[in-house]
Amino acid sequence: MNKYGLIGLGVVLVIIGFAVKDQSWTRPEMFAGLELDLGKTITNIGVFLVFIPVITMYFYVPLKEAMDARNNELETTFTDVEQLRTQMQTMKSDYESRLSATEAEARTQIQSQIKEAQALRQQLVSEATERADTMIRQAQLEIDQEKAHAIATIRTHVVDLSLAAAEKVIGENMDSAKNRRLVEEYIDALEVAS
Amino acid sequence: MDSFLHANLPLAEAAKSEGIGWNIFVYSGLTFAIVFGFVALARKGLKGRVYTSLPTRLAEHLFLFLEGMTVNVIGPQGRKFVPFLLALWSFIFVGNLMGLLLPETPTADWSLNIAMAVITVVYVQWEGIKANGLVGHIKHFAGPKLGGAMVVISGLIFVVEIISELMKLVSLSLRLYGNIHGGHLVRESLDTLIAGIPLGGLLLPLKFFTCIIQAFVWTILTCTYLAIATAHGHDDEHEGDHGGHGHEPELAHA
C-alpha cells in the first residue's frame, strides 16, 4: 500500500473512530481502570496512518535529499581536493627531479670549469717556467758573453799595460842585464808562440 | 492508605472518574502542530550548505541519531525504517514534553498508546512479511524446524510466539502509559503536599529525562522487533555468502 493509500485508510479510520465513540463496546469493562476507549484507539490509528506518511513526505524526504546532496557535494569537494593533492604531489616530484637534474648539471659544469681552470693554471705555470728558464739561460749567456768580453778587455788592457810598462822598463833600464834578459826571453816566447 | 491517596490525589481521582476523554485530540493535535511547526522551521534551514538554524541542526542530529541506532540494531538495510521511527520518536517525545508544562499529556492516555503500539506491531509484521513472504513469516513463529513428534513443540512455540507478539501491544503501550501517567500522578501529589508550593516542579528534570528515555525505548524496541522480523529474509539472501547463520536474528550489531 502506498502512502496515499495509507492516508486514505487513516481518514476512514478517523471517521469510523468518531462514529463509534459513544457505543458501549468501545469501553470494555475489563480495562475500565486504564480508561481504554477503542473509539479513541481507532481514531488515533487513523491519525497516525495520516501523520506518518505526511511527515515522511513533508520532512523526512526533503531532509534526506538535502543531506544526501550536501554529502555528495562534500564527497565531490574531497575528490577534487584529492585530485589537486595528487597533482601537487606530481608537480612537486617533477620539480624535485628537475631541481636534482639542475643541481647535477651545475655540479658537472663546476667540475668541468675547475678542471679547465686547473689545466689553464698548469699551462700558465709551464709557460712561465719555460719563459723564466729561457730568460735565465739568456741571462747566463749574456753574463758569460760579458764575462768573456770583460776578460778579453782586461787581457787587452793588461797586455797594453804590460807593453807600456815594458816599454818604460825597456826605455829606462835597457842597460841592466836582467831586463835585457827578460825582454829577450819575452821576445823569444812571442816568437815561439807565433 | 486509601484515604491518604484520595486526599492527596484529587487530579488523579478526577482523571480516574472522567479521564482526558476525547480532549486527547486537542492535546495530540497540539503535539502534531508543534511537530509540524518545528519541522517547518527545520525545512527552512535546509537551503544552505551548512545548517545554521537551530531547528535544522536539531533535526539533523535527530535524524543521525535515529539512523545510527537503526543501523546499529538492524544493519545498513534498516535505513528504510528511519522515517517510521522518526515519526514515532517525534510524536512520543513532543507528547511527553507537553506533560511538563500542560495538565494533560496525550501519551498518558492508554488508548492513544495502544494505537501507536498497534501501528508499530502491524508495521513490524508487514515488514516481516515483505522480507520473508507470508508463509516464511508465519513459519518463523514456530521456531527452528523440528521433525517427528517434536512438531508438537513447534506448535507450542508458535502459540507462545503469537501470544508474545500480541503482548508487545500491551508492553509497549503500558510502559509508556505507566511512566508518563505515573509521573503526572507523582508531580500532582507533590504539588498538593504543601499548599502553595509546587514541589512537583522539582521533578521536572527527572520527567524531562523520562520523556527522552521513553521515546528512545519505544523506538529502539521497534528497531529490535524489526530486526527480528526481517532478519530471516536477510539471512537467506546472504546464506551462501556467510555459510548461514541459522535462524538467529542479526543483533550482533547492537
Contact B127, B81 (CB under 8 A): yes
* Cα distance between residue B168 and residue B36, in whole Å: 29
Q: What is the pLDDT of residue A123?
A: 95
* Cα distance between residue B105 and residue B180, in whole Å: 8
Burial (CB < 10 A; 0-12, 13-18, 19+), residue B218, is buried
User: What is the residue-averaged pLDDT of chain B?
Assistant: 80
Q: For the segment B216-228, what is each residue's pLDDT rounded down to a tens digit?
A: 999 999 999 999 8
Q: Which three cell numbers stand for residue A177?
A: 842585464
* Cα distance between residue B8 and residue B5, in whole Å: 5
Q: For the segment B166-203, what is each residue's pLDDT rounded down to a tens digit?
A: 999 999 999 999 998 888 888 888 888 887 787 888 88
Question: Is the model more confident about B193 or about B233?
Answer: B193
Residue among A37, A45, A64 whose CB faces B119 most closely: A45
Q: Which of residues 60-99 of A touch B (CB under 8 A)?
A: 60, 62-64, 66-67, 70, 73
Tell me which range, A24-28, A178-182, B43-47, is most confidently predicted by mean pLDDT. Answer: B43-47
Contact B113, B177 (CB under 8 A): yes
Q: What is the pLDDT of residue A194?
A: 58
Residue among B20, B39, B91 whose CB faces A59 most closely: B39
Provide residues of B within 8 Å CB-CB of chain A.
15-16, 19-20, 22, 24-25, 28, 32, 35-36, 39, 42-43, 46, 49, 59-60, 63, 82-84, 86-88, 90-91, 109-112, 114-116, 118-119, 174, 177
Tell me the torsion sign for CA atoms A57, B132, B217, A68. negative
Residues of A whose CB is below 8 A from B174: 34
The one-letter amino acid code at A52 reads: I
ipTM (interface pTM): 0.77
Q: For the segment B136-164, what is each residue's pLDDT rounded down to a tens digit?
A: 888 888 877 777 778 888 889 899 999 99
> Quick one: what percent of chain B has pLDDT higher than 90?
31
Q: What is the pLDDT of residue A96?
A: 95
| Mean pLDDT, rounded, for A72-83 | 92
| Mean pLDDT, rounded, for A52-80 | 89
Cβ contact, residue pair B119, A31, below 8 Å: no
**First-to-last C-alpha distance (Å) of chain B:** 45
Query: Among A167-181, B72-86, B234-248, which is the least confidently predicted range?
Result: B234-248
Cβ contact, residue pair B35, A55, below 8 Å: yes
Query: Among A10-19, A48-57, A156-165, B206-215, which is the least confidently predicted range?
Result: A156-165
Residue A189 has pLDDT above 60, yes or no: yes
> Cα separations (Å) of B147 from A175, B150, B161, B224?
183, 6, 19, 29
- Does pTM surpass 0.80? no
* Cα distance between residue B88 and residue B62, in whole Å: 12
Tell me which range, A16-30, A100-114, B41-55, is most confidently predicted by mean pLDDT. Answer: A100-114
Q: What is the pLDDT of residue A1?
A: 66
Q: Which three cell numbers stand for residue B176?
A: 509508556
Question: Is the model more confident about B18 or about B91?
Answer: B91
Query: Among A97-101, A107-111, B19-23, which is the least confidently predicted range?
Result: B19-23
